[in-house]
Amino acid sequence: MAMLEIKDLHVYYGIIQALKGISFEVNEGEVIALIGANGAGKTTTLHTLTGILPAKTGSILYNGVELTKTPAHKIVKMGIAHVPEGRRIFQQLTVLDNLKLGAFTRKDKEGIAADLEMVYKRFPRLEERKTQIAGTLSGGEQQMLAMGRALMSKPKIIVMDEPSMGLSPIFVSEIFDIIESIRKDGLTVLLVEQNAKKALAIADRAYVLETGRITLSGKASDLINDEKVKKAYLGD
């Protein structure tokens, strides 16, 4: 059984239909990329998954548990961490406070302290700046903070929404290296990206979204050579 199974998901914003019945699955240990243009429904998919948006019909099964009726704050407890789009960190709090808040659903003090060390090891820059107000970090550092914060909840699956958005090429490479290392530690990653080239390079499988529907899917290594994908998303 897949770790995460999305079946025929329909989501509306008022009367506007954003997702027109999408289905996909994520297996444990995989890196799955969801790629697509602006307005394709990538973020909507993630927000429905993490309980921020309600689904009209369809189901999301996580290890057999239905998520569409579960409130957002309980979903995090079940092991799904969300790195929201656009580096949504807590601007006016310190880096350390941001990270501590990532572990909000946890009670094990020692585990939290150990994970904080782990996050600092992965992002040494965050340790240097732990007392700094998060809003004063650079864009790339803020993205790292958002990722570190998500890791603090000790997730089984981490859902990332356009981690490379608005970052310089060096930072983009760094972010993708980090995703690679997160996956090596045994985490499952669901990655939403516009940077299709980079996303397909590290993903196991990928789904292509177009205006609320999945139009293509398959192994990432196959999709990267697909003529249609090349033309539409890789700019070749």
Partner 1 sequence: MKHRIKPATRKSFITYAIMIAAFIFVEILVSTGNASNMFQGLLVPFCVYSISAAALNLTVGILGELSLGQAGFMCIGAYSSAIFSVCTKDTITQAWIRFPIAMLIGGIFAALFGVLIGIPVLRLRGDYLAIVTLAFGEIIKNVFAALYVGYDSNGLHFSLTSQGDLNLAPDGKMLINGALGISGTPKDSTFVIGFIVLMISLVILYNFTNSRTGRAVMSVRDNRIAAESIGLNITKYKLITFGLTAFLGGVAGALFSHNLSALQASKFDYNLSILILVFVVLGGIGNIRGSVIAAIVLTYIPEALRKAGSNLTNYRMLIYSIILIIMMIFTSNAKIRGFFTASFMRLKGIVFKNKSAVKEGE
68 or 220: whose CB is closer to partner 1? 68
**Least distance (Å) between residue 75 CB and partner 1:** 7
How is 163-207 classified by DSSP, letter by letter?
TTTT--HHHHHHHHHHHHHHHHTT-EEEEEES-HHHHHHH-SEEE
**Least distance (Å) between residue 160 CB and partner 1:** 11
145 or 178: whose CB is closer to partner 1? 145
Question: Judged by CB under 8 A, does residue 2 bind partner 1?
Answer: no
Within 44-83, which residues bind partner 1 (CB under 8 A)? 47, 50-52, 71-77, 81-83
Give the x-and-dash track for 136-155 against partner 1 (CB under 8 A). ----------x--xx--x--
Question: Judged by CB under 8 A, does residue 228 bind partner 1?
Answer: no
Q: Which two tokens stand for residue 82?
A: 């969300």
Residue 153 dihedral angles phi and psi, to the nearest 5°: -85, 5
Q: Are 74 and 67 in contact (CB under 8 A)?
A: no
Question: Judged by CB under 8 A, does residue 36 bind partner 1?
Answer: no
91 or 138: whose CB is closer to partner 1? 91
**Least distance (Å) between residue 224 CB and partner 1:** 30
Residue of 88, 121, 228, 231 interacting with partner 1 (CB under 8 A):
88
HSE-CB at 52 with a 13 A cutoff on CA atoms is: 12
Residue of 36, 102, 148, 163 interacting with partner 1 (CB under 8 A):
102
Q: Would you tell me the crossing angle of helices 95-102 and 109-122 to the nearest 10 degrees?
A: 130
Instruction: Spell out the residues 6+ positions from residue 225 whose beta carbon is closer than 8 angstroms to its own.
Output: none
Question: Judged by CB under 8 A, does residue 104 bind partner 1?
Answer: yes
- CA 20 from chain centre, in angstroms, equals 21
Question: Judged by CB under 8 A, does residue 107 bind partner 1?
Answer: no
Neighbours of 200 (CB within 10 A): 25
**Least distance (Å) between residue 170 CB and partner 1:** 25
Neighbours of 187 (CB within 10 A): 20
Handedness of CA 94, 109, 86, 178 (dihedral sign): positive
**Least distance (Å) between residue 226 CB and partner 1:** 32
Binding residues for partner 1, per CB under 8 A? 47, 50-52, 71-77, 81-84, 88-93, 97, 100-102, 104-105, 146, 149-150, 153
